[in-house]
């Protein structure tokens, strides 16, 4: 087989092959050229094709003789979109002009059929007598390589989408778990979804057997229309076949296309949902239930507005999972709220109304913890003892749940009975209380301050107290001086290893119009700060409130409690009258 060539020549350096198409070097070199498994064509110094091997003719879909003499760049070289590459950007010319071998990744050659052939190629100069005489262009079909690269890119994109979905699910789960308020958690979920997964999102909750409330709407970016989409929705009816109603009644998650979205259902809830879709636009919608194992709590709607990006089955599964996580989170929050309400009601019922204490002024306040099962072991009490003295108690049983509230009730009732039983120092009453607690067999660790207000009706009075591991009483005088009464500190109640009878008392005279404050540690403790910092803050604030009424004194102290506190608060204040003060 001879090489197809243009023109004739003597083979003496003009770039043309020998007459008759015989290659210099004989039959072996000619056989290599003809049998080469890759496409090969030669050009002269002007870039015109001078020889084409059979494989090149086959790949290009052009008879060899039709290519001989043609400008290789004009005939073959194309950009990926089919346009002609500027000659200045052609890789053939540096080879012909400077003798530089060039290798390329993926180019496009125009075939005789008009389609573009992806090729991998290399161009080498042909030298004779040290001069550039021609260029050899070797190329191979890169279609399979491109397809494999495309598959790898698709697989990588799929893995990236999967990783993003898993990250979204994980992030949503963590966010829902750490947000204690249901509506706010659902708003944050919407902001996580938009624009990461969808152009807009809405969350609807069932608030009764038929009632529905839209609690969160995250509109498309740049939306400037009516923002008032949240609030009550029409009821769910058994007859409605609208997608939202079907999901709220217990159906599976739905993937809706343009025809489904445009379908009309003459029912108020469907109309309300359609108004939202019309306002924001949608070409692909997913409605997923907020589900627990027992019931449907609501529905999550997410939508895209770009027709080229409809949701797929994997995204349907992701949104369904987000709905499940949101449902469990809402269910958990509602359960915590119910427990909180039960425990708080229980604790408030256990906190007694304050009695009249002669001319002494009394005020008390209680505030539940901001999170979790609010009720706990914090309590206050005021009672009149057998000898006519007034007793003040503030205590804290370990725990923040219904069980802690129950133990608090048990301890408070025990203390009432023991304190009224006989006249004795507070330390001995606390000892007898501890004996009773240990005898019950289910000891609860507790701290408390028990104080007697002693003195005749007209005064003066003194504070006779004992503390069992509790923050010290605070004494505030009328002129704005405040100090902690740190004597009479003893071990807390319920510790079995100490000797009963080791506790001791202290006595402090109470100046006219002074205030004694007993409190639990929720009033002084805040995360990230030490107890000393909280005590100093309370001392300074109480000093500034020395001339407030005892009611106002308590209100403002409670208002100034650490806003990020995690404990409930009980406080009890006693105001000593001055000469001529009314009771």
Question: Per residue in 243-295, pLDDT tens?
Answer: 999 999 998 999 999 999 888 777 888 888 888 998 999 999 999 999 988 88
Q: Is the pLDDT of residue 495 over 70?
A: yes
What six digits make up the tokens of 42? 């030669």
CB atoms within 10 A of CB 440: 13
Distance CA 140, CA 407 (A): 85
Give the Cα-Cα-Cα angle 222, 225, 231 (nearest 5 degrees): 115
Position 159 pLDDT exceeds 70: no
Give the pLDDT score at 18.
41
Q: Transcribe 28-74 into DSSP letters.
A: HHHHHHHH-SSEEEEEETTSBEEEE-HHHHHHHTS-HHHHTTSBHHH
Q: Is the pLDDT of residue 23 over 70?
A: no
Rounded Cα distance, 455 and 473, in Å: 19
Which residue would you say has higher pLDDT here, 399 or 24?
A: 399
Q: What's the per-residue H, E or C state across 147-191?
A: HHHHHHHHHHHHHHHHHHHHHHHHHHHHHHHHCCCHHHHHHHHHH
Helix (H) / strand (E) element for 261: namely helix 258-262
What local confidence, expressed as pLDDT, does residue 460 receive? 92
Pick the residue with more confidence: 293 or 481? 481
- Is residue 476 helix, strand or coil? strand
Measured CA to CA, the distance from residue 385 to residue 575 in angstroms comes to 19
Residues 6+ apart with CB under 8 A from 390: 357, 358, 360, 382, 383, 384, 452, 453, 574
Q: Please check the confidence at residue 374 and state whether its pLDDT lies above 60.
A: no
Which residues does 531 contact at the CB level (< 8 Å), separation at least 6? 521, 524, 525
Q: Tell me, what's the pLDDT at 398?
A: 80
Picking from 141, 27, 60, 9, the residue whose alpha carbon sits closest to that of residue 52 is: 60
Q: What is the pLDDT of residue 548?
A: 94
pLDDT tens profile 330-351: 888 777 777 667 666 655 666 6
Q: At CA 160, angle to CA 156 and CA 163, rounded to 5?
A: 135
Average pLDDT over residues 339-366: 76
- Alpha carbon of residue 387 to chain centroid: 60
- Mean pLDDT score across all residues of the chain: 84
CB contact set of 404 (below 8 Å; sequence gap of 6+): 375, 376, 377, 397, 398, 444
- Of 19-28, 367-376, 383-392, 506-515, the one with minimum mean pLDDT is 19-28
- Tokens at 208, concatenated: 């009764």
* C-alpha distance from residue 320 to each of 1, 254, 436 (Å): 68, 9, 55
Reduce the DSSP state of residue 386 to 3 states and report it: coil
User: Six-digit token pair at 182?
Assistant: 């249901």
Q: What is the mean pLDDT of residues 100-127?
A: 89
User: Is residue 432's pLDDT more than 60?
Assistant: yes
For the chain, the first-to-last Cα distance in angstroms comes to 128
Query: How far is Cα 157 from Cα 142, in angstroms, rounded to an integer?
Result: 22
pLDDT digits (tens, 9 = 90+) for 174-204: 766 666 677 888 888 888 888 888 999 999 9
Burial class (CB in 10 A: 0-12, 13-18, 19+), 233: buried
pLDDT in tens, 232-243: 999 988 888 889
Alpha-carbon Rg for the chain, nearest whole angstrom, is 44
- 381-397 pLDDT, tens digit per residue, is 999 998 889 999 999 98
Q: What's the pLDDT at 445?
A: 85
In 3D space, the residue among 546, 576, 547, 571 whose CA is nearest the CA of residue 559 turns out to be: 571
User: Looking at residue 148, what is its pLDDT?
Assistant: 81
430 has pLDDT over 50: yes
Helix (H) or strand (E) holding 212: strand 212-218
Q: CA-to-CA distance for 235 and 477, rounded, in angstroms?
A: 61
**pLDDT surpasses 50 at 15:** no
Question: pLDDT digits over 141-158, tens only?
Answer: 988 888 888 888 777 766
196: β partners: none
Q: Is the predicted pLDDT of residue 16 greater than 50, yes or no?
A: no
Q: Do 439 and 410 meet the contact criterion of CB atoms below 8 Å apart?
A: no
Cα 316 from Cα 323, distance rounded (Å): 11
Per-residue pLDDT at 402? 67
CA distance to 33, 379, 496, 562, per residue, from 18 (Å): 15, 113, 114, 100
Please tell me the least confidently modeled range out of 104-108, 305-309, 520-524.
Answer: 104-108
In the chain the domains, ranked by start, together with CATH numbers, are 4-141 (3.30.450.20), 161-338 (3.30.450.40), 351-575 (3.60.40.10)
> Mean pLDDT lowest for which of 5-14, 375-384, 399-408?
5-14
Cβ atoms of residues 3 and 30 within 8 Å: yes
What does the pLDDT look like over 41-62, one tens digit per residue?
999 989 999 999 999 999 999 9
């Amino acid at each position: 087989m001879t090489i197809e060539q243009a023109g004739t020549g003597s083979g003496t350096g003009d770039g043309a092959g020998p007459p008759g198409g015989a290659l210099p070097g004989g039959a072996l070199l000619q056989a290599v050229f003809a049998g080469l498994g890759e496409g090969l064509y030669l050009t002269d110094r002007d870039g015109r094709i001078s020889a084409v091997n059979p494989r090149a003719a086959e790949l290009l879909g052009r008879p060899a003789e039709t290519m001989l003499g043609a400008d290789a760049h004009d005939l073959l070289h194309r950009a990926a979109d089919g346009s002609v590459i500027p000659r200045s950007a052609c890789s053939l010319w540096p080879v012909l002009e400077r003798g530089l071998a060039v290798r390329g990744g993926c180019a496009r050659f125009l075939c005789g059929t008009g389609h573009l052939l992806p090729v991998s190629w290399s161009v080498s100069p042909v030298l004779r007598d040290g001069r550039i005489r021609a260029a050899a262009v070797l190329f191979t079909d890169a279609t399979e390589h491109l397809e494999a690269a495309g598959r790898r890119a698709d697989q990588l994109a799929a893995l990236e989408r999967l990783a993003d979905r898993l990250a979204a699910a994980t992030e949503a789960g963590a966010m829902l778990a750490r947000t204690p308020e249901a509506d706010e958690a659902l708003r944050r979920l919407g902001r996580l979804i938009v624009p990461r997964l969808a152009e807009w999102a809405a969350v609807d909750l069932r608030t009764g057997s038929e009632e529905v409330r839209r609690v969160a709407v995250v509109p498309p970016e740049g939306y400037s229309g009516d923002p008032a989409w949240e609030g009550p929705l029409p009821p769910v009816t058994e007859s409605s076949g609208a997608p939202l109603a079907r999901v709220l009644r217990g159906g599976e998650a739905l993937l809706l296309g343009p025809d489904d979205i445009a379908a009309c259902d003459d029912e108020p809830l469907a109309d309300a949902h359609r108004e939202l879709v019309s306002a924001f636009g949608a070409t692909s919608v997913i409605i997923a239930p907020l589900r627990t194992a027992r019931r449907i709590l609501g529905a999550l709607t997410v939508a895209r507005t770009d027709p080229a990006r409809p949701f797929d089955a994997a995204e349907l599964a992701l949104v369904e999972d987000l709905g499940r996580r949101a449902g469990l989170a809402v269910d958990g929050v509602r359960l915590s709220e119910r427990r909180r309400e039960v425990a708080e009601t229980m604790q408030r019922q256990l906190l007694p109304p304050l009695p009249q204490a002669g001319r002494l002024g009394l005020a008390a306040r209680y505030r539940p913890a901001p999170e979790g099962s609010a009720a706990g072991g914090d309590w206050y009490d005021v009672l009149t003892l057998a000898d006519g003295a007034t007793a003040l108690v503030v205590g804290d049983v370990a725990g923040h749940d219904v069980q802690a509230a129950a133990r608090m009730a048990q301890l408070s009732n025990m203390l009432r009975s023991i304190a009224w039983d006989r006249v004795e120092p507070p330390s001995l009453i606390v000892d007898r209380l501890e004996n009773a607690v240990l005898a019950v067999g289910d000891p609860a660790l507790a701290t408390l301050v028990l104080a007697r207000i002693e003195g005749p009706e007209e005064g003066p009075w003194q504070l006779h107290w004992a503390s069992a591991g509790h923050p010290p009483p605070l004494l505030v005088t009328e002129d704005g001086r405040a100090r902690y009464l740190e004597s009479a500190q003893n071990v807390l109640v319920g510790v079995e290893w100490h000797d009963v009878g080791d506790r001791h008392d202290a006595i402090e005279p109470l100046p006219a119009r002074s205030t004694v404050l007993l409190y639990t540690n929720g009033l002084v403790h805040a995360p990230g700060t030490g107890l000393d910092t909280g005590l100093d803050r309370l001392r300074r604030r109480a000093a500034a409130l020395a001339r407030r009424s005892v009611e106002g004194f308590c209100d403002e102290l409670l208002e100034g409690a650490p806003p990020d506190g995690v404990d409930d608060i009980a406080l009890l204040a006693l105001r000593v009258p001055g000469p001529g003060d009314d009771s």
